[in-house]
Structure 1
Amino acid sequence: MTRRLPELTAFDLRLLQVFDAVVAAGSFTAAEVKLNKSKSAISTDIAALETRLGVKLCRRGRAGFGLTDHGRKIHEASLELFRGMSGFRDSVGRIVSRIAGEFTIAMDDDLVVGARAQVADAIRMFTLRNPDVFINLRSSSPEHVTQLVLEGGADIGVNVVPRRLPELTMHPLFSKDLSLYCGARHPLHPVADGEITADMLSQYECIDLVAAPGAGIAELVDRMRVTARAASMESRLMLILTGRYIGFLPCDFARSWVERGDIRAIAMPGLAASSTGYAVFRRDAAPSAGRDLFLADLTRAFKPLRPPAPESKSILSSRPKTVFQPEAGAA
């Protein structure tokens, strides 16, 4: 016989929010900052929730934090519960023409300065018209932004998507130019651009691509000796500064380092690339007035920027390539 649980109270919801935050953070310690609570207070809340539900939710100790089978299923159910509550708020908001509650935006750490300003403009427009909204802005790596959106941890993401996923609706916002760079201590640094060939590039260690700048550039990187990977612009720059690696960086991010002579762009016909920034959300997400309005504000904010650039041709082949684009109708 299924044990009937007591009616959910505001206290239960608060405990579930603490539990979800711990799961998202991966440990009690990591959740302290997000929750603004001590580890002992978090432990007390989790113990209270376990008592309330009558099951063990997680294991913690020297082996680290981990969910029990009950904990995993209850976490999934709690995410569904909070999504339902958010949907209810949106429905009521549409009825009374008002949006309220928490709205979570996940933003790529690597957004260039211009794009950050546009996101700020969009948030300003959105919150001026919807003063009852509580904004939760989360900044992380491109992979984690995508993960947050897929797992329901964010209503919308602004991201240079690492790879195309059928679960996501992707609305193009902007593009950023990329160039291939080497450090001042790299053997290619003193070599004139006209002397550098694709075969020469294939001899040197290269940093793997994080985003998808186009099939032609991906083909070039596939022929190189890919021996490193770094998720952020700063970490890719650090590897390039070692003088051992070549790798792609956004041109505006790299400009000051080029002017100081610490790195240089490798200029070859067809070697320039671009990556596209998107607003992303789950394709199967429930209708959300907040998301629709914020997406409209993002689109308005990014309108002055130039549209996403077409794919550059590869220096290796003149054959037509498949361009990395969102699915038809995604915008």
Structure 2
Amino acid sequence: MTRASIPVGQIGDYEIKQLKIFKTVADCGGFSAAETELNISRSTISIHISNLESRLNLTLCRRGRAGFALTEEGSVVYDATIKLLGELDDFRNTINSLDTQLSGSLTVLFSDTISLDNRARIPDVFRRFSKLAHEVYLTSEVARMTEIERMVMSEEADIGFIPYHRSLDGLEYQHIYSDHCFLYCSRDNPLYDLHEDELSDEIIDGFPVVYAGMKTQENINGHLANMNLKATAYNYESRLALLLSSKFIGFLPENYAQPYVESGELKAIAPDRRFYTLEIMAITKKTSTVNKVRSLFIKTLLDFYHEH
């Protein structure tokens, strides 16, 4: 090789296209034979090869009466081109297969009844995610929302679903749906048969109340401030059991209480003024570290909600 070495510099899409044409010409043994393979004219092929030679400051092939042949430099470039195109294909295949070759684990935590709430569509989200990442080991548990926050922050869990009650700097929040919560009593409760005009705040606030037993949003605390707090039950199921005992009243999400209202076992008390709204959120940790499994689950979740 007699030419002075000149740095090639950045290789872009155009140079890669020229290298592909050069490889095809070499494989076909000439410009004429490559016309059909490339579906471009011989003159266009010649222009591309000439431009590539100018770009590399090399003579890659001889063409003339003696036929087509790679130069010594052309043979080196040909071998390097095969290696480069092979690595590009490997890169492309790796990226394209990431979603289908994911492995590892994913831990998802739910507060109370969110996992089976029809508005969250969690079984559908799990079904779609499992098709995309069938090698991922899934863990799904129910926990108190403060415990869910702690575990997501410490990366013991990947994603949590909780009622929004505060904003923590280390967490990201994605709204899922809203819950409207009303105050309920059971059929055997003395408040059940009282007319709305008889349900004064004094009477309501004097009756024993079961509540979550933790500090929550200000609008909830405002409702509880003057009430007769006599029992604690964080989970809706255990709270419902105390309500059905007829000895307590308490707040429940409308969607959760609806079947019991329809059967006559529960009744909303003063629904025009004794209610509040819970925003149900999906929470993840703010981090610069890429977690492909978690990212795929969140994308699956958001895509599903967007479609429905």
Sequence identity percentage: 24
Which residue type is aligned with residue 175 of structure 1? S
Q: How far is the alpha carbon of 1:279 from its aligned partner?
A: 0.9
The superposition leaves residues 294-313 of structure 1 with CA deviations (integer Å, 9 ceiling, x where unpaired) of 112222333477xxxxxxxx
Separation of aligned partners in 2, 1:186 and 1:263: 9
The superposition leaves residues 229-260 of structure 1 with CA deviations (integer Å, 9 ceiling, x where unpaired) of 11111111111122222111122221222233
Separation of aligned partners in 2, 1:288 and 1:281: 11
Q: How far is the alpha carbon of 1:224 from its aligned partner?
A: 0.8
Equivalent residue number for residue 147 of structure 2: 144
Task: Determine helix, strand or coil for the equivalent of 1:202.
Answer: helix
Separation of aligned partners in 2, 1:275 and 1:182: 20
Task: Determine helix, strand or coil for the equivalent of 2:125.
Answer: helix
Give 1:180's match in structure 2, choosing from 180, 183, 190.
183
If you compute each CA radius of gyration, which structure gives the higher value, 1 or 2? 2
Q: How far is the alpha carbon of 1:285 from its aligned partner?
A: 6.8
Change (3 A) 1:203 1:122: same
Equivalent residue number for residue 71 of structure 1: none
Which residue type is aligned with residue 131 of structure 2? L
Separation of aligned partners in 2, 1:278 and 1:96: 31
Is 1:128–2:124 an aligned residue pair?
no
Equivalent residue number for residue 292 of structure 1: 295
Separation of aligned partners in 2, 1:122 and 1:211: 30
Task: Determine helix, strand or coil for the equivalent of 1:244.
Answer: coil
Separation of aligned partners in 1, 2:118 and 2:153: 23
Separation of aligned partners in 2, 1:244 and 1:303: 43
Instruction: Tell whether the 8 Å contact from 1:161 to 1:211 is kept in structure 2 after alignment.
Output: no
**TM-score normalised over the length of structure 1:** 0.56
Instruction: Tell whether the 8 Å contact from 1:106 to 1:137 is kept in structure 2 after alignment.
Output: yes
The superposition leaves residues 201-250 of structure 1 with CA deviations (integer Å, 9 ceiling, x where unpaired) of 22122222468885334212111122221111111111112222211112
Which residue type is aligned with residue 152 of structure 1? E
Equivalent residue number for residue 269 of structure 1: 272
Instruction: Tell whether the 8 Å contact from 1:179 to 1:273 is kept in structure 2 after alignment.
Output: yes
Instruction: Tell whether the 8 Å contact from 1:180 to 1:247 is kept in structure 2 after alignment.
Output: yes
Change (3 A) 1:279 1:212: farther
Separation of aligned partners in 2, 1:183 and 1:229: 17
Instruction: Tell whether the 8 Å contact from 2:212 to 2:235 is kept in structure 1 after alignment.
Output: no
Equivalent residue number for residue 17 of structure 1: none
Equivalent residue number for residue 243 of structure 1: 246
Separation of aligned partners in 2, 1:222 and 1:122: 39
Change (3 A) 1:222 1:304: farther
Q: How far is the alpha carbon of 1:287 from its aligned partner?
A: 2.9
Is 1:97–2:80 an aligned residue pair?
no
Which residue type is aligned with residue 172 of structure 1? H
Instruction: Tell whether the 8 Å contact from 1:94 to 1:289 is kept in structure 2 after alignment.
Output: no
Structure 1: give runs of 5+ residues left out of the alignment: 1-92, 306-331
Change (3 A) 1:260 1:302: same
Change (3 A) 1:209 1:197: farther
Aligned-pair RMSD on alpha carbons? 2.8
Is 1:219–2:200 an aligned residue pair?
no
Change (3 A) 1:227 1:284: farther
Equivalent residue number for residue 207 of structure 2: 204
Change (3 A) 1:180 1:302: farther
Q: How far is the alpha carbon of 1:291 from its aligned partner?
A: 1.8
How many residue pairs are counted as aligned between the two chains? 213
Structure 2: give runs of 5+ residues left out of the alignment: 1-93
Q: How far is the alpha carbon of 1:116 from its aligned partner?
A: 7.4
Equivalent residue number for residue 6 of structure 1: none
Separation of aligned partners in 1, 2:187 and 2:214: 25
Which residue type is aligned with residue 295 of structure 1? I
Separation of aligned partners in 2, 1:200 and 1:245: 13
Q: How far is the alpha carbon of 1:188 from its aligned partner?
A: 1.2
Instruction: Tell whether the 8 Å contact from 1:170 to 1:280 is kept in structure 2 after alignment.
Output: yes
Q: How far is the alpha carbon of 1:191 from its aligned partner?
A: 0.8
The superposition leaves residues 22-68 of structure 1 with CA deviations (integer Å, 9 ceiling, x where unpaired) of xxxxxxxxxxxxxxxxxxxxxxxxxxxxxxxxxxxxxxxxxxxxxxx
Q: How far is the alpha carbon of 1:266 from its aligned partner?
A: 1.0
Separation of aligned partners in 1, 2:165 and 2:136: 30
